[in-house]
Structure 1
Amino acid sequence: MLKLFWLDFEAGRRHGFPMGVGITAEDETDAVDLAKTRLFASGKFPTAYRIKIIPDLDTLGQNHVRPNIGHYLRRGIWFPTGYDNNWSP
């Protein structure tokens, strides 16, 4: 069963993702693997990060994150958009 995850990087080392990353994956390991291959394919994945399950989309930032998410019902990166190979509008 797929779950929604939020990946956040250590302050001061956001690596171009200041608000964090939204990922749909099977588990935490799968979510981190997706981030490594789709966000950091050409670079080193940061070691300082936090990942948590998102219990409800209403817990996301309603002014920026929520209105700008991609397809979150299938496995992949849905925030920020543009990193999911399978996404189409």
Structure 2
Amino acid sequence: PRTVLEAMSMGRAIITTDAPGCRETVEHDGNGYLVEVKSVTSLEMAMKKFIQNPELAEIMGTRSREIALHKYDVHQVNHHMMTEMGIK
């Protein structure tokens, strides 16, 4: 999802659903939390972790930025796509 990638590029910790597309962007307990789809309780628990440990947002945000730079860099993604298509 674009919004998750944008947040990661800005160095933000992520809370997102454990659903296809979303789960590939988050290392659970690494750069954020994956919550169960349609689970208010799961979302509440993830949010409480950041409230109770504010330093986690900075630590996980830094990890998000690292992942965004490494895994989702537009030049690397384009190179991979072109290589797979046999263009480069």
Bin the TM-score by the shorter chain.
Answer: under 0.3
Q: Which protein is bigger by CA-based radius of gyration?
A: 2
TM-score, normalisation: structure 1: 0.27
TM-score, normalisation: structure 2: 0.27
Comparing both structures, which one devotes a greater share of its residues to strand?
Answer: 1
